[in-house]
Structures are given as C-alpha cells and as structure tokens.
Amino acid sequence: MKRRELLLRGASTGAVATLLPAFAPSSFAAETPFGPGMPDGLPMPAPLAGPSPRLPETDPSRTLLERGWRFHEGEVSVPEPADHNATYLSVKAGNARGSAALAFDDSDWPTVDLPHDWAIAQDVSETANVSQGYRPRGIGWYRRLLRLDESQKGRRLELHFDGIATHATIWINGSEVAHSWSGYSSVIVDLTPFARFGDELNWIAVRVDAQAREGWWYEGAGLYRHVWLVSRPALSIETDGVHCDPVRQPDGTWQVPVEVRLTNVGEEAGQAEISARLLDPEGREIHRSGGAATVGPLEQAQVTTALIPGPVKLWSPDAPVLYCVEVDLLREGKVVDTRRQFIGFRTVVFDPARGMILNGVETKLKGVCIHQDHSGVGTAIPDALALWRLQRLKAMGCNAIRMSHNAPAKEVLDWCDRLGFLVMGENRLFNPAPDYLAQLEWMVRRDRNHPSIVLWSVFNEEPMQGTHAGVEMVRRMRKAVRALDTQRPVTAAMNGSFYNPENVSTVVDVMGFNYYQGDYDKFHALHPDKPITSSEDTSAYETRGAFESIQAQQVITSLDKESASWGATHRDSWKMIAERPFVAGGFVWTGFDYHGEPTPYAWPSTSSFFGIMDLCGFPKTAFGIHSAHWRDDAPMIWLAPHWTWPGRECQTLEVFAITNAEAIELRLNGEVIERVPAADRIMGHSFKVPYRPGRIEALALRGGKVVASAVHETAGAPVALRLTPARQAIASDGEDVQAITVDCVDSRGRHVPTANLPVEFAITGGRIIGLGNGNPNDHDSEKGNKRALFNGLAQVIVEGDDSGSRLTLTATTGGLRPARLSLARAPREPRAQVPPVPAEMPITDWRRSALFAQQPDPALAPVDGDNNSWDFVRSGVAAAAGNSGWRSYRTRFTPWKKIAAQGGTLHFAQITGAAEVWLDGKLVARKADTAAASLTATIPPGTGPRTLAVLIEAKDSAPSGITGRVYVSG
Ligand code: GAL
C-alpha cells in the first residue's frame, strides 16, 4: 500500500502543525485481499505488502499512557481505620485508603502494558459463567505514577480511559474522581483540579469490577482499550467537542456545519478564535471559515460556522473518500489547540418500500454483527488487529456492521470510515435514567461525525419492547439522540411484540427485526410507511474445518445445515432479505466467533459457533456463501469440503459449491462430474461425489468461460510446519501486530487440512501476544507459546518491538521440519508514551504543632480525636513566618514491604530552619544550619508503622518548615 505524508499547516501562522499520514482511501480499500485463499489450499489470503497502516492522529494533545501500570488481580482489602482520628481522616479529600491511597505499597505488583484484558489469561473453569466463556473475571486494581512537569500548571489536563471492563472507580491522588458504570463508554477524567506538578508525583488508582456484567458474551476485564493523558491549554476545545457532519442542501449542494464547544479552566475570561478548514482527500484546503467566542472562567461556550465544499466526491463502501475538517483554536493569532475529524459526503435514506438508499442508489446492507474480542487477546485488541479483522470482512464483500451490542473502540469506526462500512451504532443499556442516558449521549457525541455510521440503535431485544414503559423509554432515548444528531435515524432491535397495542416500533424511525423473518411481509403490509431492516438474523452454527456434525464431541458441520431455532441457515436467511426490496438489509449473527455464548452447547465448549469466521478469523464455509451473496467486484467460487479423507475411499461425500458467476462445473481428477448451467447464487449447489483421492475442482463460468476456480487436493502425511504472515513487514513502532497463520504441509507443499499437531513457538524482535486455533472446545491457554493446530490451522499474534531488527518466529513440532518466518521491519517512529516513573514511597501528610518557645519533646503528639490543635499540613508547605520558637511535625507511615525487609533512605528534599529528625523515638538526623537544605536519614529494616517527628526551629520572622517533598527510597 502506498502511504503519503500530508503536510497540514497551522491555520494562520503557516507553521507546520504536524505531519499527518494519510492513505488515499481508494488505494487503501484496494489493498483488501479478495479470493478464497492461496493456491495450495490454505484458506487465507496472501500476505499484504508493508506493515499495517496506522491511523492519523486526530487530537494532537493526547499522549498514550499505556506503559508501566502496576496491576493486581483480585480485591485488596482495606482494614478498618484504627481509631477515631484515622476514621475522621479517612473521609477527607485526598485520603483514600487501601490500594487507592497515595502511599500504598504496590511495589510487588507486576507491571503491565495496556491494552490489557486479564480475563483472557485465565484458565477456563466449568464453574465460571457460561455466557462469559467460563473465564473467571473478578476484581482487579491498576496503579500508575504520573509526573507532570511544572509547565503543565494552568493547563487543562484530562485522563481518557477509552474502555474499562466493566465497572470502575478511579482515584487521583487519593481523591475519588470517577465512577464508570459502562464497560463500553470512555471515562473522561478532568485531572486539572487534582494535579500536582514537578517532583510532587501523581497517583492514579483504578479499581475494576469485572464481576459486573453488561452482556451475555465475553466482555473481558480491565483497561482493555487505550488510555491517554491529555494536556490542552486552559481555554481549549472540549473533548468530542467538534460536530461537523456534512449536510446535503435541498438544491443538491453540500454544507458542513461546524459546531465547536469550548471550555475554560483558567482564572480569567478568554477570547478564542476558531478557524475551521476543510481539506480534500489530497490534503488541499478547499474552504476555510471561523468564528470567535469569549469564554468565562470555568465556563463553556460554542462557536458555530459552516464550510462550503463545492462539488465533492461522495463516500460509499466502494469508494470511501474522506475529507478532513481541521479545527484550530487560536489565541492572539497563535494556534494553541487542534482537532481533526475525517468526514465523508453521502446521503442515506431508509425508505419503507425501497430499503436503504445510499447516494440515491438502493443499497442492501450486507452486514454482520460483531462483538469485540479475538482469540489470544480477548478484548484487548491492538489497532492493527482491529483493522485486520475488518479487512477479513471486507474481503467477503460485507459492507455493513452492527456494533452489537455496544459502542466500539473509536479506532474501529475510524477504520470503518476508511474501509467503507455502513455501521449501526448500538447503545448498551436500555435505560433513559440520567446515568444511562449519559452513556447514549456520549456515544452519539463521539461518533456522529463518522460517515460510516448510518443508524443508531437504542437497544437490542428488550423484554419491555412491547409495553407502555418500553415505549416511554424509547421516546426519551430517541429524543436524546435526535438532539445531538438530526441526520441519522433511530432504530431498536426488536425480537417480538411487534403487534402489541403499545410497542416501540411505533416510536423508532426504522423498524429493526431480530430474527422473525417470517414476519417481514405481515409487518410491512400492516405498516407500509415504516422502513424495515433486519437488525440481526441467521444464528447458524458451524465448526470451522468440520464437515460432519458429531454431537458427542460438540462439533457442528460447516456445510450450513444447522441453526438456532429462532434463526435460519446463512442461505435461507439471506434469501428472505435479498428477495424483499423493502427490507434494507441484514446483519448476520455473527461475523466472527467470540468467546462465550457457546450455544447450542455448554461446557466443554467455551466460545461461539455462530461466526462466519472462527475466533481467529479463519473462514468457515459461511465465508464462501456470503462471498457469493455479496461480492459483485469479481467472480468467485467456493468449494467445500477439503479433499483429504483417508479411509473414505469410494464412500459418497457431499460436496458444496457456490459462486456469483453463471454456471458451475465440478471436476474430480480432471473428469467432469457435473455441470450446473444456471448456478443459484444464494443457495449454492450440493453434489454427491464418491470419494477418490486426488484433485477436486470447481470452475465458475460466465458466458462459457472459466472466470474463477476453487481446488482442493488430497494431502499426504504432514512433513513440515509453515508460517504465513498477514503482511510482509511489521513496523518498528512497538505497537504493530499481525496474525500469523500456522499450518503444516505434505511432501509436495500442500496444506494438510486434517492436522491437529501440538506446536511450540519461539520469537525474537517482538513478543507473542496471543494464540488460537478456532476450536470452541479447546481449553489450552491462549497465552504463552504453545498451541495445537485444529483442523489444520492455528494462529499466533505477534507484536513487533521498537527495534529495527527483523522479527523471527519459529514453530516446531515433533517429527516435522520446523518453520521459520523472518519478517522485515518497516521503520516507523513509536507513538509518544507518557514515560513510567520509578516508584518512591511518598510521605505527604503531617500534623504540625503550635509554636513552642523551647524545643519540644519528640514524643509530643496530639491526642486521639484532637483534629484541631495541631494543623494538618502537607510536605512542601512552608510554615508561616512568625516569632522565634520550635514546632514539631509528626507523621506515621508503614514502610513498603521491600523497605521493611531491607531498610531504606528517608529523603527530605528541603527543610528550612534548624531541625532534628526522630524516628520511633531515636534521633536519626540533624541539621544545624537554618538555611533551606536537603536532609537524609537511614531507615533500618523493620515492619509495622513508624513514627516520625521533625522538630524545626523558626528564627525571628524567617519562614521554616518541611518545604520540599519527603519520600523513602528502598
Ligand atoms: C440474539 C442476541 C444475540 C445473541 C444471539 C444468539 O437473540 O441478540 O446477542 O445472543 O441471539 O443467537
């Protein structure tokens, strides 16, 4: 793929603002691999050129905060406060206890990098929840130390957690700053009022409750999406504060209304100038417009303007042409904040008779529903893997995705814009109460500029859908959506109650049918003015690579024969949709298998059977079926099963072929077995073929000419392993990943589809982040370096490190030639990461006595419950200047485990005034000089709380006290 660097310029200064890598959308879409697979029968596409592309940065004030998090799996108990004083203090700002406390000892917690899903590393257990894939989830804690430079003071600082599974509480510096009640919404924390700067460090603590459930599928556990530190000027553009969705005018011209929300955390009102520029797909400015606003301190304001593009290239799944709106905030003529939104010009109308009309053309939604997990990594999907999964769908001719049943990661939608998918965005919890409405509003606000989003779904299958209350709830939710987005219709995915006197179909713009395909005609006849789409259909079962159902082994043939009672086979289901122009399209349950919901089975099956592809993205027969249904770009044919059936000689096998061409010719060992002159594109064709080893071939014909073919050859015994990468190179940015296909070949280099060998892997130049083989019944770990092939295939997901050296992966198994893959590195700068900070035990909270004329006894202490006669002070604060005399500063701390075991050093960065330091009643350091200076003391080993008293002399009217930070290093 060709990548070009676009030079985007700061609006009025003409300065280079940033380098924005932009892929011309057409060439990007064109890199998507088509075709049933590689010529030797491996059902995966040939490797794409170069590394995975990376998305352009749309918010330059974000920096990834993903390295060096301390993680603890399980709850951390918090002891009751020891006495009245401790109780009193425990509820004060900044004084969270237990693992949310500043000084909590996390030094023995392992360090992890994000994104992180701790549940996927768990062994499956029969006693854990079936729907969540039998993986224990539980509670987890994350902590991260953060250093903010003095230069950050006065800026607006935020933390963005793009997704936490499932509920979470977040503390900053011991103050509770956020509760998250959604595993799929971003948590945006305003760090500004809590932040500390310079050597005073900040502690972020996150308690994640993954016992909470929001779904009946695998939801993962932990900080599974990106986390960012955001630093903007005091007066800045709000997060998700730009709305710039193009609107087609009645006269056919286009306008891009731009609304920019501003916020000001500064102490003074400020005047902001907004400059909005519209850039064409080549990065050339085609229009510029602006506005201004005054924003008061701690207030918000909005600037509204419009961009006029003139004639545009339209966005569509076949030509996903993107323009860019770049919004600059200027103060005194200087660009201080910038946001970019990629947009597309397209019209979408849901018509009750004609289905969906895209840019004036009836266009069927050839869609799939997807969850967000993948083999090996669970929900912690790197951006490059998210792209690869979408490319697998695109390769099938799929043009639509329902993000079931929750908001996806932002990057997924960015890729959808670029690849050309029509997306149904879906809200998770059906609830118009304020906390939940806020989740819906957040989703719409974040996603309403994406050309890919064409429909908002407020719920999936809710038992209240046929009640008065359900109607009232949907009315409110629809109203909330429409307040933020007047362009896209609202739907709800109903599974029944359509004819109840009160039901939500009456208050949505588009009726969404989950299953109930037999009701399309009846509903349409009753409500000829209501647009209809299938929001979910099919729910057919297939085990990838299996061509016979063996109930005792919980294996289901992938010849499209079995489905849930509420669903239908892939072919029957699409037929119902394809034959009805008034049905806008369909969304197959599901594009990929997912962990959890192993319907129709339960243990030992732990992942689903519904996918068109398996958990690794390996195609099942359904992939060929939908390719025939959906692809019009090029002729194709799919042939199943494979042709390696030792011991089945002379038995009759069922052979299935499906094509988007006119006719099929089936040949065995060169001999024509059967010709189908008028191929059925939806149902395909089954043939009875007596098995003879050799070569079976299906030819697709158009006008009597062979336009595509699919071949399987009988493989011999496996002799060697093989590794096939998804791409020919991996970037050296430390975050590019790719899925490597593992299979074995016979002595003639042919893929062996029946091999189930155990394989072991070793890697240099990167790491293995997950493994899989698509078998719902396989309980081996998806982490580590071992995985067995399943029906001929396994997958290793590798992440390149940030070195320039080649990534090598070797695969070995007993008795076979090992495979070695060496991947070229494509140079690419790593994205900036907030650097981890080495941990030191801070001692921040002190009590300070009144002024004594004489040096007090170091044992002097406030009595329990006296919260008044000794001040509460923090280190770093100078005592007020006053008369001469002595003050005592006291604190108690429990040394971290390592310090308790080995001893450590107590550091006072600065004490002003002559001082004595007493530890547990012993003098450990003295400072005779009155000038400000540092002081250190040795802390001997020993467990339990320590009492520290620092006696400081104030001379005349000079200030005195603990004027710098205090910490213990070990
Ligand atoms: C639907 C539901 C999906 C999934 C599917 C399985 O009813 O919306 O989430 O459970 O059934 O067939």
Task: Measure 514 CA to ligand 1 centroid, in angstroms.
Answer: 8
What span, in angstroms and rounded, lies between the C-alpha atoms of 347 and 143?
46
Residue type for 95, please? N
Q: Specify the pLDDT at position 957.
A: 76
Position 840 pLDDT exceeds 90: no
What is the CA(388)–ligand 1 centre distance, in A?
Answer: 24
Indicate if ligand 1 lies below 6 Å from the C-beta of 496.
no
Residue pair 69/92 in contact by the 8 Å Cβ criterion: no
Which residue's alpha carbon is nearest to atom 4 within ligand 1?
589
Taken in order of first residue, the domains within the chain and their CATH numbers are 3-31+247-343 (2.60.40.10), 69-112+118-223 (2.60.120.260), 416-611 (3.20.20.80), 640-708 (2.60.40.10), 720-826 (2.60.40.10), 841-969 (2.60.120.260)
pLDDT digits (tens, 9 = 90+) for 328-358: 999 999 999 999 999 999 999 999 999 999 9
39 — pLDDT class (breaks 50, 70, 90): low
**620 C-alpha vs ligand 1 centroid, how far in Å?**
20
Look up residue 790 and give its DSSP letter: B
Q: Is the CB of 513 under 6 A from ligand 1?
A: no
Ligand 1 atom showing the smallest separation from residue 564 Cα: 12
Q: Distance, CA 566 to ligand 1 centroid (Å)? A: 9
590 lines ligand 1 (CB under 6 A): no
Distance CA 765, CA 54 (A): 20
Beta bridge partners of 766: 800
Band (pLDDT 50/70/90 cuts) for residue 37 is low
Q: How far apart are CA 392 and CA 395, in angstroms?
A: 5
- By alpha-carbon position, which residue is closest to atom 6 of ligand 1? 539
Q: Is the CB of 536 under 6 A from ligand 1?
A: yes
- pLDDT per position as a tens digit, 560-585: 999 999 999 999 999 999 999 999 99
Beta sheet of 663-668, edge-to-edge order? 671-676, 663-668, 695-702, 705-713
Distance 565 CA to ligand 1 centre (A): 12
Q: Which residue has the higher pLDDT, 24 or 738?
A: 738
Centre of ligand 1 from the C-alpha of residue 590, in Å: 9
Q: With a 6 A CB cut-off, is 589 part of the ligand 1 pocket? A: yes
Average pLDDT over residues 623-652: 95
Q: Kindly give the residue spans of alpha helices, DSSP state H, lying in 31-124.
A: 84-90
Write the pLDDT tens digit of every residue in 54-75.
999 999 999 999 999 999 999 9
pLDDT at 35 over 60: no
Q: How far apart are CA 274 and CA 192, in angstroms?
A: 23
**What per-residue confidence (pLDDT) applies to 674?**
97
How sure is the predictor about 50, in pLDDT bands with cuts at 50, 70 and 90?
Answer: very high
Q: What is the 242 CA–ligand 1 centroid distance (Å)? A: 35
Enter the tokens of residue 80: 């009751």
Residue closest by Cα to atom 12 of ligand 1 = 539
Q: Please give the pLDDT value at position 103.
A: 80
Higher per-residue confidence, 157 vs 802:
157
DSSP code string of 594-639:
-BS--TT--TT--B-S--SB-TTS-B-HHHHHHHHHH--SS--EEE
The rounded distance, in Å, linking the Cα atoms of 203 and 967 is 14
Integer angstrom CA distances of residue 817 from 314, 472, 609, 723, 788: 52, 66, 33, 12, 16
- Please compute the mean of the pLDDT values over residues 659-681 and round it to a whole number: 97
Cα gap 396→705, rounded to integer Å: 23
The answer to whether residue 844 scores a pLDDT higher than 90 is: no
Spacing, Cα 612 to ligand 1 middle (Å): 15
Q: What is the pLDDT of residues 66-101, one digit of tens each?
A: 999 999 999 999 989 999 988 999 999 999 999 999
Neighbours of 212 (CB within 10 A): 16
Tell whether the model's pLDDT for residue 836 goes beyond 60.
yes
Q: Which of 536, 562, 607 to mutate to test the pocket of ligand 1 (most atoms within 8 A of CB)?
A: 536
Task: For the chain, give the mean pLDDT.
Answer: 93
Q: Residue 4: is its pLDDT beyond 60? A: no
pLDDT at 11 over 70: no
- Among the listed ranges 16-30, 602-616, 688-702, which one has the minimum average pLDDT value? 16-30
Distance 356 CA to ligand 1 centre (A): 24
Q: What is residue 697's predicted lDDT score, i.e. its pLDDT?
A: 95
Residue burial 706-721, b: 16+ Cβ < 10 Å; e: rest: ebbbbbbbbbeebebb
Q: Does any ligand 1 atom lie closer than 6 A to the CB of residue 564?
A: yes
In this prediction, residues 14-42 reach a mean pLDDT of 43
| Percentage of the chain lying above the pLDDT 70 cut | 95
Q: Determine whether the shortest distance from the Cβ of 539 to ligand 1 is under 6 A.
A: yes
More confident residue, 85 or 773: 773
Please state the rounded mean pLDDT for residues 698-716: 95
Distance CA 593, CA 776 (A): 9
Q: Which of 301, 299, 324 is nearest to 312 (CA)?
A: 324
List the alpha helices (DSSP H) in 569-727: 570-578, 621-630
Write out pLDDT tens, residues 807-824.
Answer: 999 999 999 999 999 999
Which of 267-276, 881-890, 891-900 holds the top average pLDDT?
267-276
Whether 443 has a pLDDT exceeding 50, the answer reads yes
**Counting atoms of ligand 1 from 1, which one is nearest the CA of 608?**
6
Residue 513 CA to ligand 1 center (angstroms) comes to 12
- CA angle, corner 401, sides to 397 and 404, nearest 5? 145
Q: How far is the CA of 600 from the centre of ligand 1 (A)?
A: 12
**Index of the ligand 1 atom closest to the CA of residue 215:** 9
Is any ligand 1 atom within 6 A of the Cβ of residue 460? yes
pLDDT value of position 803: 87
Give the closest residue (by CA) to ligand 1 atom 3: 589
pLDDT in the model for residue 107: 87
Rounded mean pLDDT, 139-149: 97
414 alpha carbon to ligand 1 midpoint, in Å?
A: 26
135-163: average pLDDT? 97
Evaluate: CB of 247 within 6 angstroms of ligand 1. Answer: no
- The whole-number pLDDT of residue 845 equals 86
pLDDT of residue 2: 31
**Is 514 a pocket residue for ligand 1 (Cβ < 6 Å)?**
yes
- pLDDT for 878: 64
Which of these ranges, 33-37, 217-221, 670-674, has the smallest mean pLDDT?
33-37
Amino acid 676 reads V
DSSP state of 134: T
Distance from Cα 214 to the centre of ligand 1, integer Å: 14
Is-contact 343 257, C-beta < 8 A?
no
34 pLDDT above the threshold of 50 = no
Is the predicted pLDDT of residue 314 greater than 50, yes or no?
Answer: yes
